[in-house]
Amino acid sequence: MTARNYLNSMKRIASVLFAFAPFATAHLFAEPVTIWISSQQDKIYYDNMVRLYQQEVDADFEADVQAFGFREMPDKLAIAFKTQTNTPDIVQLDEVFFGMYLSGESPFVDLTDRVKAAGLDQSLMPQRLELFTQNGRVLGLPQSLSAVVLYYRRDLFEQYRLSPSEFKTWDDLMEIGEELAAQNQPFLAMDPTYFGILLRQRGGRLFSETGEVLPDFELAVDTLEFMGELAQKRVGLMPDRASIFDPVFFGGDVANNEIVAIMGADWYGLDMIQQFSSELEGEWGIMPLPVWTDDEGNPNSARTSTFAGQGLVIYKGSEVIDESWEFMKFVMTNKEANAQRFLQGNSFPAYKPAFEDIRLLQPSPFFGYDAMGQILVDLAPEVPRVAMDPRRPMAVFMIREGLLSSVLYGEGDARSALERFKAQIEGGGGPPPEN
């Protein structure tokens, strides 16, 4: 080959390489999708989902999954958004924290058209999808059904000769609970968050669609009074740290058999109960919530409620929005991904086609061979809707931090406590106005 021919050949090769250079550079040096997760348990799941996505969809997909604490996540996001440094692409965000971003322009990608094109507007439970929707625009995808059930101790039920069939109504629970209290045995672990759970079960709301605080005020008063009665009659027991979400609760009240039952969402049983009371495997059971009744004793409520639950959002400033969406869509719709979310102890999916997966409906050894998934599928149509409001995070955390706890300790009345609560929410969270 002459020098001229060699140079011409090199020019042709160079021109071909130059033509494909943008593709090659983008492929070789593409940044991984950064995914922020709010627990170590969920990080394990998403690490597994990245591998599954690589196997089934895109072998070259890369993701950096980072775990932060549940309460740490909002602070991390606020700093990242403000400084525009180290921002995530996908964020796993609790529905309560999501409410913080409902004022002003959202920092998250509008997924409405993508959701409709993927059929997710039909296949996700509408009660859950609405939680991540603002003004008709979908901003996130819900991960969990978050249906609330009653987790009870089978061994203590046997000791006191109780049966789940006896707890059809809250009046039944109160009556049986008083009999146990006389034997120095509280029945139900109490938590301030039960207020919102019970209010939703009865069809009540913290906020109306138009932003009114406690629009069902008399129902709210009655609900809080009932909680106070549970506590004062020792049917309900407030944990030492006043929270069923503190691991110390399991090492103390649960381990010492001081409570018989706990009210919690699907993720509470899959994650917290199994993680922090593993020594009680087989001794837990699951049943629907007792129902509320009218003055004639007729049932007039759902058999479940809802509390919290996480979803996935995409940061608007991401440079890999399409890649992030494709991964999110996979996690939401893939049969194996939905099954593993439940089987790995994260949550029960809100994706309706997953309800037919036999693996989700099998009896669970941990819960005494109750079919947790089947119970949740049966209750799913009754999961209440929740009206989102920018002030909802403030309301939820005010409740969790004990604003209403004085009623549970017998130090105040429900009406006055809720009037103060309502005034503080309407006033932006500051002290109530002077009378």
pLDDT tens-digit series, residues 122-133: 999 999 999 999
Query: According to the model, what pLDDT value does residue 432 have?
Result: 42
Contact 384, 201 (CB under 8 A): yes
Structure tokens that stand for 324 in this block: 């992030």
Question: In what order do the strands lie in the sheet containing 236-237?
Answer: 236-237, 188-189, 261-265, 148-153, 284-287
Domain range annotation of the chain: 30-144+309-362, 148-305+403-426
Q: Which of 396, 401, 412 is nearest to 228 (CA)?
A: 412
Q: Which of 81, 137, 80 is nearest to 114 (CA)?
A: 137
Integer Cα distance of 91 and 65 in angstroms? 10
**Backbone region of residue 347 per phi and psi (left: phi > 0; alpha: psi in -120 to 50; beta: other values):** beta
Per residue in 274-293, pLDDT (tens digit) is: 999 999 999 999 999 999 99
Alpha helices (H) in 95-216, listed in sequence order: 95-98, 112-117, 120-123, 126-129, 154-159, 170-181, 194-201
Could you tell me the CA-to-CA distances from 216 to 12, 244, 297, 405 in Å, in that order? 77, 27, 21, 20
Integer Cα distance of 168 and 208 in angstroms? 29
Q: Residue 370: pLDDT above 80?
A: yes
Integer Cα distance of 395 and 421 in angstroms? 8
If pLDDT is split at 50, 70 and 90, which confidence band does 429 have?
low
Least confident stretch, 35-44, 161-170, 227-236: 35-44
Q: Which residues contact 150 (CB under 8 A, 6 or more apart)?
A: 167, 261, 262, 263, 286, 287, 288, 289, 290
Question: In what order do the strands lie in the sheet containing 63-67?
Answer: 63-67, 33-37, 90-94, 310-314, 141-142
Q: Which of 225, 251, 247, 228 is nearest to 238 (CA)?
A: 228
Query: According to the model, what pLDDT value does residue 71 have?
Result: 76
Query: According to the model, what pLDDT value does residue 13 have?
Result: 33
Per residue in 237-249, pLDDT (tens digit) is: 998 877 899 999 9
309-324 average pLDDT score: 96
Integer Cα distance of 374 and 37 in angstroms? 28
Query: According to the model, what pLDDT value does residue 419 have?
Result: 95
Integer Cα distance of 88 and 67 in angstroms? 12
Give domain 148-305+403-426's CATH number out of 3.40.190.10, 2.60.120.10, 3.30.1370.160, 3.30.70.100.
3.40.190.10
Query: According to the model, what pLDDT value does residue 30 have?
Result: 59
Per residue in 207-222, pLDDT (tens digit) is: 999 999 999 999 999 9
DSSP string, 339-360: HHHHHTTS--B-BGGGGG-GGG
Q: Answer with the residue of higher pLDDT: 287 or 74.
A: 287
Query: According to the model, what pLDDT value does residue 41 have?
Result: 84
C-alpha Rg value of the chain to the nearest Å:
25
Q: Which amino acid belongs to residue 174?
A: M
If pLDDT is split at 50, 70 and 90, which confidence band does 11 have?
very low
126-147 average pLDDT score: 95
Among 131-140, 329-338, 393-402, which range has the highest average pLDDT?
329-338
If pLDDT is split at 50, 70 and 90, which confidence band does 34 have?
very high
Structure tokens that stand for 150 in this block: 């009653």
Give how far the C-alpha of residue 319 lies from the chain's centroid of Cα atoms, to the nearest Å. 28
160-181 average pLDDT score: 98
Least confident stretch, 25-29, 33-37, 273-277, 278-282: 25-29
Q: Which residues contact 342 (CB under 8 A, 6 or more apart)?
A: 270, 348, 349, 359, 360, 373
Q: Residue 234: pLDDT above 50?
A: yes
CATH code for the part of the protein at 30-144+309-362: 3.40.190.10
Mean pLDDT, the chain, rounded, equals 90
10 Å CB burial of residue 59 (0-12, 13-18, 19+) is: exposed
4-20 average pLDDT score: 37
Phi, psi of 97 (to 5 degrees): -65, -35
Query: According to the model, what pLDDT value does residue 207 have?
Result: 95
Same fold, 30-144+309-362 and 148-305+403-426: yes
